[in-house]
Amino acid sequence: MIIKSQKDNSRNIVVDALVLGIYEDVKSVREDLQILDEKIGNAIQSLIRDEEFKGKNSELTVIHTLGKIPAKKIILVGLGKTKDFNDDTVRKVAATAIRAANKSKCKTVAFDLLNGITNLEIKKSSQCICEGSLLGLYSFNKYKTNNENKQAYVNEIYILTNEDNNKIEEGILVGEALAKGTILARDLVNEPANHLTPTEMANIANKVAKDNGFEIEILEREDLDRLGMGCFVAVTQGTEQPPKLVVLKYNGGKKDDEVLALVGKGLTFDSGGISIKPSAGMEEMKGDMAGAAAVLGAMHTIGKLKPKINVIAVLGLCENMPSGRAIKPGDVVTSMAGKTVEIINTDAEGRLVLADCMGYAKKLGATKIVDLATLTGACLVALGTTTTALITNNEEWMGQLVKAANEANEMVWQLPSYPEYGELIKSSIADLKNTGGRYAGTITAGLFIGEFAGETPWVHMDIAGTAWSAKEAGYSAKGGTGVAVRTLYYLARNLEN
C-alpha cells in the first residue's frame, strides 16, 4: 500500500475515486470545491439542495464523473454535525469511504478531507485518515480458498492538500504504525487455536522482536516450574500444548527511567478446563489471547515510532483444557510471589496466569504496570461491547491511562476498588480464592490481579467486551478489533520526558 500526500489545489488528480467530506449543517458547496462542482454540472450542489445527500455521519453517495474531471468517481461522505466532529469521525469516514471505493474495485483513492475540516490538527487528521483507511480495508480471509476478494483492490492512497505540508507525511507515519499494530492484534485474535498455539504465538513475538531490535526471553514449562509460578503452571497442566512466557524489552529511555510493563493474558484457547464452558459460542475463546495480542501490537507500534522510554512486554501464553492431568476445583496452588490460591473454578484461569506474569514483571523492574485481559463475561454485562473496564491501585496512574485512551478515542470506564470487594476473594483455607462469586465479577477478578501488583502503580484493562466484534462497524472489522493497541502506544509516548 502506498500512502502519500499530494498538493492539488484544483482537485485534478488522476484517481479512481476522489473522496470529499460534506458537513451535515453546511448547506452549500465549499468555496474551494465550486470550480470542481461546476465541471460536473453542479451535481454536488444539487444533491445537497434536494436533500438527497444530507451529510449525516458516514452517509455515502457515489457520483460518476463521466470524464468531466480526471477522477473517475467522486465519493461524497457525510461528516455529521460540525460540533460533533472529531479525530474519530475522520477515522470512521475514511473507513466508510474506502470500503465503498474498494467495493467498486477502485485502485487509487484520493482523500480531500484536510481542507475545509475545522478545528483539527493537520498531522493528527492525516494520521486518522491513514488509520481509518488501513483499518477499514482489513479483512481476515486467509483461510478462504477462492481468490476473489482476497486482497484489497485499493493500493494507492493520496491525502490532498492545498499547500505543501510535511505535517501530513509525519501523520502518515504515525497512522501506519498504529494501524499495523492494530492489524497484528486483529490477525492474532482471528487466528484459530489449532494454528495459533502458544508456541506459534511465541514465534510471532520473536519475529516482532527481531524486526524491531527488542531483547526477547522465552520461558518454557521447566522455567515456570523452577521459578515457582504455581498459578500459571496450574492452568497449563491439562493441555498437550507447551506454555510460553514471553518477555520483550524495548530500551528507548535511559537506564534509570521508568519501566512500563505491559502484561497480556494470552490464552490461545479457553475451554474452561474441568469447569468446562457450555459449547454455544465456545469457538470465540480462540480470542482469549486478545490481551497479549494488544500488547504485541502495541510493541510493533512502539518499535516503529520509538518513544524515548523503557517498555517490557510480558505475555502469558497457554491453553486451558480439561484432561486427567488438569487442575481441579478445590486444588490449592502457590504463586511465585508466595501467596496461596484456592481454585474454585478452573474457568477463572486468566487471573491465575496474570498473577505470575505480574510477579515476573515486577522481578524485571517494572515501575508502572498495565495488564490487559479478556477476563470476565461479567464485563460484557456491565459495559457491553463498546467500553473497556478499568481497575487500579493508583488514581494518578489511572488518570494517565484515561488520558491516553481519550487521545486514542478508545472508550474506557473505571470501576470501583473499595476494600470491601477484596473481602470477596479471601479463601477460608488459602490466602485467596480465584472467584468472588456472581456479584461484581469484573471487580473481584481485577482485584485478584491487583494482589500481585502490590505497591507498584497498576491499571487493569478488562477487554472481554471490546476485543471482539460481532459485526463490521466504522473502522472496526468483524471478529478481532485490535482494541487497546492505540491506547497503549499513547500511554507509552506520554511517559517520555
Choose which of 270, 342, 451, 462 interacts with Mn ion (CB under 5 A).
Answer: 270
Name the residue nearer to Mn ion (CB basis): 278 or 416: 278
Footprint of Mn ion on residues 191-220 (CB under 5 A)?
Answer: none
Name the residue nearer to Mn ion (CB basis): 258 or 270: 270
Footprint of Zn ion on residues 275-304 (CB under 5 A)?
Answer: 288
Q: Is 270 annotated as a binding residue?
A: yes
Name the residue nearer to Zn ion (CB basis): 288 or 451: 288
Name the residue nearer to ligand BES (CB basis): 66 or 381: 381
Name the residue nearer to Mn ion (CB basis): 320 or 476: 320
Footprint of ligand BES on residues 453-472 (CB under 6 A)?
Answer: 464
Name the residue nearer to ligand BES (CB basis): 136 or 441: 441
Residues that bind ligand BES (rule: CB under 6 A) add up to a total of: 15
Q: x/- string (CB under 5 A) for Zn ion, residues 321-350?
A: -----------------------------x
Q: x/- string (CB under 5 A) for Zn ion, residues 7-36?
A: ------------------------------
Q: x/- string (CB under 5 A) for Mn ion, residues 311-350?
A: ------------------------------------x-x-
Residue nearest to ligand BES (CB): 377
Least Å distance between CB 349 and Zn ion? 6
Please say whether the beta carbons of 460 and 454 come within 8 A. no
Catalytic residue among 277, 304, 403, 478: 277
Pairing of the two strands 340-342 and 332-334 = antiparallel
478 belongs to the catalytic site: no
Least Å distance between CB 28 and Mn ion? 56
Which residues, listed in sequence order, are joined to residue 318 by a DSSP beta bridge?
267
3-state helix/strand/coil string of the chain: CEEEEEECCCCCCCCCEEEEEEECCCCCCCHHHHHHHHHCCCHHHHHHHCCCCCCCCCCEEEEECCCCCCCCEEEEEEEECHHHCCHHHHHHHHHHHHHHHHHCCCCEEEEECCCCCCCCCHHHHHHHHHHHHHHHCCCCCCCCCCCCCCCCCCCEEEEEECCCCHHHHHHHHHHHHHHHHHHHHHHHHHCCCCCCCHHHHHHHHHHHHHHHCCEEEEECHHHHHHCCCHHHHHHHCCCCCCCEEEEEEEECCCCCCCEEEEEEEEEEEECCCCCCCCCCCHHHHHHCCHHHHHHHHHHHHHHHHCCCCEEEEEEEEEEECCCCCCCCCCCEEECCCCCEEECCCCCCCHHHHHHHHHHHHHHCCCCEEEEEECCCHHHHHHHCCCCEEEEECCHHHHHHHHHHHHHHCCCEEECCCCHHHHHCCECCCCCEECCCCCCCHHHHHHHHHHCCCCCCCEEEEECCCCCEECCCECCECCEECCCCHHHHHHHHHHCCC
Least Å distance between CB 313 and Mn ion? 22
186 belongs to the catalytic site: no
Q: Is 288 annotated as a binding residue?
A: yes
Best CA proximity match to 63, nearest among 121, 18, 122 = 18
Choose which of 377, 384, 399, 454 interacts with ligand BES (CB under 6 A).
Answer: 377
Choose which of 37, 270, 371, 410 interacts with ligand BES (CB under 6 A).
Answer: 270
Asked if 371 touches ligand BES (CB under 6 A), the answer is no
Stretch that binds Mn ion, among 105-113, 232-240, 267-275, 407-415 (CB under 5 A): 267-275
Q: Among Mn ion, ligand BES, Zn ion, none, what binds residue 97 when CB lies within 5 to 8 Å by partner kind?
A: none
Stretch that binds ligand BES, among 291-299, 348-356, 359-367, 383-391 (CB under 6 A): 348-356
Q: Residues interacting with Mn ion, by CB under 5 A?
A: 270, 347, 349
Residues annotated as catalytic (active site), given as ranges: 277, 351
Q: Residues interacting with Zn ion, by CB under 5 A?
A: 267, 270, 288, 350
* Residues of each annotated binding site for Mn(2+): 265, 270, 288, 347, 349
Q: Residues interacting with ligand BES, by CB under 6 A?
A: 270, 288, 345, 347-350, 374-378, 435, 441, 464
